[in-house]
Structure 1
Amino acid sequence: MKIHFLGGTGTVTGSKTLVEHNEFRLLIDCGLFQGIKALRDLNWQPLSIDPSTIDFVLLTHGHLDHCGWLPLLVKQGFKGKIFCTAPTKQIAKLILADSAKIQEEEASKANQEHFSKHNPAEPLYTVADAEQVTSFFKVVEKDVQIRLSEDCWFSFFQSGHILGACSIELTINEKVLVFSGDVGQDDDVLMYPPEKPQKADYIFLESTYGNRLHPQNDVLLDLEMIINKTVERGGNVVIPSFAVERAQTVMYLLWQLRLQNRIPTIPYIIDTPMGIKVLDIFNDNPKWHKLNPNQCEEMCSMFSMISDYEDTINAIYDKRPKVVIAASGMITGGRVLSYLERYIIKPENTVLLVGYQAEGTRGRKLLEGAKEIKFFGKYYPVEAEIVLVEGLSAHGDQLDLLNWLSELTQKPQKIFLVHGENEAADTLRTKIFDTYGFDATVPLLGQVVEI
């Protein structure tokens, strides 16, 4: 059996792991690379494996870094099934359509304003390409065994990361391979704790926070202080947020603060059309999260929900202090750029970061103290206060990842650490050995391993 590490190695994006056994080829996730240009350029490169020779895709969840390359996989000849849970299908459809729309819009804007070196600038894929993927999805229930061939079957089990997110137990020729996908926190506000694998010969474990522990801070208190401080100086709080689960978590926390009268009665805005649609997915899938329908309804009633861009412009120019949640979470695109274009240059405002900021993203640059930030072909001085509230990540920290391994009944032959920057993955490798004596390794992008 051969394992091809086609993405999600040395970085937290572009997740793609290909399993090859005899003539059988199976792809775990098919994500988009994000961050520094060298990584983004990889999205334009063909796979080392002809997509038409891949039999199936198993999709752990619907985030862009795990599903965002599917339109190209299909466009380049993939004809198999894409297995996923029902919420993952709903979320992936939204995210792919949104990704394609943003790419089309940015290419159009670049051509109109001539700030791209490409002439003409073109999207990586179109909305029509994204729509083609839908017919390939095959929904399966978690904890149900699905046979793919005589000697190969798999099942999904809950990973606690976002709605519908699962780990995968894959059995091929009596060898058990477990792919973690992204592992959530054990005490997440909205998601149930991740389920742990019981047995595995080989494990492919994410390592996003492999070298970090989430602080044991009072997140509600942090949000309360940041919002009140900003409002007192007449400013706005802009929260760049992932539209799936992170936006809903922030909504829930703000709702709790309002119920306790700890933050003022000002406009609270959700400006992410996709994030608003995800609220419907929450209502459609109550068994996947902790909120009941009444809580969902009451929480949503606190927020103004913006879909039309005209309303975005009106909100931006509304002089009242406000709190705005807008995509994208790492400030790589989306509505949040329109707010930052006007707000980041004013010291009374606050940009509140609430999730992981990958290398090369605008979010990471702000976190590292950048004095200026570039978007829409222009540089803007960073005068607004930049604040990070830790502990809100949808990813488990080092302790959560170690705990995820705690119920294995036998020593795995090898653990491959993926979906992490090199330092995080290597730190986790050492920690796994010190804790359990398990042999872990950090594969390289493009590496092929025989097992």
Structure 2
Amino acid sequence: MSNIKIKFLGAAGTVTGSKYLITAFGKNILIDCGLFQGLKELRLLNWEPLSFPPAQIDVVLLTHAHLDHTGYLPRLVKEGFTGNIIGTSPTLQVAEIILKDSAKIQEEDAVRANKFHYSKHKPALPLYGLPEVENTLPLFQQQPLNEWININEHIRYRFRYNGHIIGATFIELQLGDKTLVFSGDIGREIDPLLFPPDRPEKANILFVEATYGNRLHPAEPAINSLEILINRCMARNGTIIIPSFSVERTQLLMYLFWQLKKTNKIPDIPIYMDSPMGRNVLEVFHRNTDWHKLSTDECSEMCNTIKRIKSVDETFALAEDNTPKIIIAGSGMAAGGRVLTYFEKYLGDESATILLVGFQAEGTRGRALLEGASEIKMRGKFYAVKAHIENIEGLSGHADQNGLIDWMRKLQSKPDKIFIVHSEADGAKGLQEKIKEVYKWDSEIPVLNQKEEFELKN
């Protein structure tokens, strides 16, 4: 007889910092290893020692590559973790891109903060830098979809396709007689680029995300909404800045703009993609065509429609160009990245438009703009907001409330326990009530560092 212990080290009561520690049969398994983002009190958690010794963790299993699921990995390694970091091939390819980008941004922010003295820390330091990322990458180990992999005689796991972004999966973890299912981030049933997510058939303990647990996506196809909005913005003869997540969202926008241009539904103005990470992720799409709907030729044609910015000098030159244009730039919540250079130029321009195209977490600049902020702080200075702020919800890569409920419909029996994770309070509560209404199942919304224990048999 053995017990399973669960500890919620992140994405409990919040939408970021995904980390779930599972202890059973002599192994400590970490599901995801994400960075906290958004509110300052959350970001400060990244600097606190993990409440479980990293050196005692045996393995990390990754659902997908987003920073809030992988961004703490270099810090984990720095603090003593030496085990394998396991995910699908596209997940590890994208994670390498994301972690290098994250480290570079942190290093540059620290240099800038020290130069202009807008940090209270003397000196300001990055959470981790490129050397820590380089120490992390040798621990990566790829595994295929749909194959059970043994950790020991009592523990095995498998990855299953989940949409959302390229490489994304949900994880089934069998511990003796119990099956734990970790939803990761669940994709949408209908997506222009990705296939529908698979669904679990069995879950004794279910961890389900609720990012959009209290919301429904618009019925209108996103491409139609984008066409109307772009044409309205272009009528003002201004520039459109789109903060965009570099993984999947940027590629989706490129695809939709390509389709709109092909059918002459938007003006023939230049469209730029300014995201080194987004550019690198395009190469992952090219190398992994079995993970998405586009052929190699379609990928190439789409890329040729959009001008890709490479250097920082090109970024500054483009920001100073006053001709109308559309610019897609990271990061998606305007937390950092090259989009801030365009914000410095265009936030105060009444003819310009800032178009938000994804979930904006609490405490981010994107959320502040969405809620009508009159000024935004960037790089130690305040900037007045005079540009038009627009929002399209239908581009999200997350399943909405109906999609989340539908994702559970193949479960053959009621789970012993359902934990609602990866959500702000309203989303978690909304999904909890909907699960009760549809399935008559109870569920729990855990809090950070909550511990649970269940009995297991061999």
Return the TM-score normalized by structure 2: 0.97
Contact kept, 8 Å, 2:164 with 2:194, in 1: the verdict is yes
Alignment of 1:227-266 (within 5 A): 227-266=230-269
What CA deviation, in whole Å up to 9, does each residue of 1:137-196 have, x standing for no partner? 110001011000110000000111100000001000121000000000111111111100
Q: How much has 1:422 moved relative to structure 2?
A: 1.4
Contact kept, 8 Å, 2:105 with 2:337, in 1: the verdict is yes
Q: How much has 1:128 moved relative to structure 2?
A: 0.8
Q: Does 1:218 align with 2:218?
A: no
Matched residue of 1:57: which SS? strand
Q: Does 1:376 align with 2:379?
A: yes
Q: How much has 1:226 moved relative to structure 2?
A: 2.2
Which residue of 424, 436, 455 maps to 1:433?
436
List gaps (5 residues or longer) in structure 1. none
Contact kept, 8 Å, 2:179 with 2:202, in 1: the verdict is yes
What CA deviation, in whole Å up to 9, does each residue of 1:381-408 have, x standing for no partner? 1000101101110110000000000001
Which residue of 139, 143, 149 maps to 1:140?
143
Which residue of 90, 93, 104 maps to 2:96?
93
Q: Which amino acid aligns with 2:203?
A: A
Alignment of 1:64-143 (within 5 A): 64-143=67-146
Q: Determine the structure 2 residue equivalent to 1:361.
A: 364
Alignment of 1:4-403 (within 5 A): 4-403=7-406
Matched residue of 2:23: which SS? strand
Distance in structure 2 (CA, Å) of the matches to 1:14 and 1:248: 24
Contact kept, 8 Å, 1:33 with 1:39, in 2: the verdict is yes
Distance in structure 2 (CA, Å) of the matches to 1:380 and 1:225: 28
Q: Which amino acid aligns with 2:207?
A: F
Q: How much has 1:22 moved relative to structure 2?
A: 4.3
List gaps (5 residues or longer) in structure 2. none
What CA deviation, in whole Å up to 9, does each residue of 1:340-383 have, x standing for no partner? 10001011000000010001100000000001001010010100
Distance in structure 2 (CA, Å) of the matches to 1:232 and 1:407: 48
Contact kept, 8 Å, 2:160 with 2:171, in 1: the verdict is yes
Q: How much has 1:218 moved relative to structure 2?
A: 3.3
Q: Which amino acid aligns with 2:279?
A: I
Q: Which amino acid aligns with 1:227?
A: I
Alignment of 1:406-421 (within 5 A): 406-421=409-424
Q: Which amino acid aligns with 1:263?
A: I
Contact kept, 8 Å, 1:13 with 1:33, in 2: the verdict is yes
Contact kept, 8 Å, 2:9 with 2:448, in 1: the verdict is yes
Q: How much has 1:230 moved relative to structure 2?
A: 2.2
Matched residue of 2:52: which SS? coil
Q: Which amino acid aligns with 2:236?
A: R
What CA deviation, in whole Å up to 9, does each residue of 1:228-276 have, x standing for no partner? 2222222100010000000000111111100110111111000001101
Matched residue of 1:315: which SS? helix
Identical amino acids, percent of aligned pairs: 51
Distance in structure 2 (CA, Å) of the matches to 1:124 and 1:77: 15
Contact kept, 8 Å, 1:44 with 1:124, in 2: the verdict is yes
Runs of at least 4 residues off by over 4 Å:
none
Contact kept, 8 Å, 2:25 with 2:154, in 1: the verdict is no
Distance in structure 2 (CA, Å) of the matches to 1:237 and 1:68: 29
Matched residue of 1:449: which SS? strand
Distance in structure 2 (CA, Å) of the matches to 1:225 and 1:423: 30
Distance in structure 2 (CA, Å) of the matches to 1:307 and 1:102: 16
Q: Which amino acid aligns with 2:206?
A: I
Q: How much has 1:410 moved relative to structure 2?
A: 1.1
CA RMSD of aligned residues (A): 0.8
